Amino acid sequence: MSVAGFARIRIRKSQKRLQRDSPLTTAHPFIPTFPIHTVP
């Protein structure tokens, strides 16, 4: 699996977890999860 594909899956899982924990993340769910996967 490519790195992009792997990151996409991780981001999707993170979005679901964040959305369940805090409704504020539903507005911009991609912003809090993206930097985590771009930093080595």
Handedness of CA 17, 22, 27, 32 (dihedral sign): negative
Note down the domain range covering 29: 3-38
Q: Are 34 and 20 in contact (CB under 8 A)?
A: no
Supply the pTM of this predicted model.
Answer: 0.31
pLDDT of residue 5: 81
CA distances from 37 to 1, 5, 7, 11, 20 (A): 15, 12, 6, 8, 20
Would you tell me how many other CB atoms lie within 10 Å of the CB of residue 8? 13
Dump pLDDT digits (tens) for 1-40: 577 788 788 878 776 766 565 555 455 555 555 555 555 5
Q: Letter for the amino acid at 27? A: A
Domains identified in the chain, total number: 1
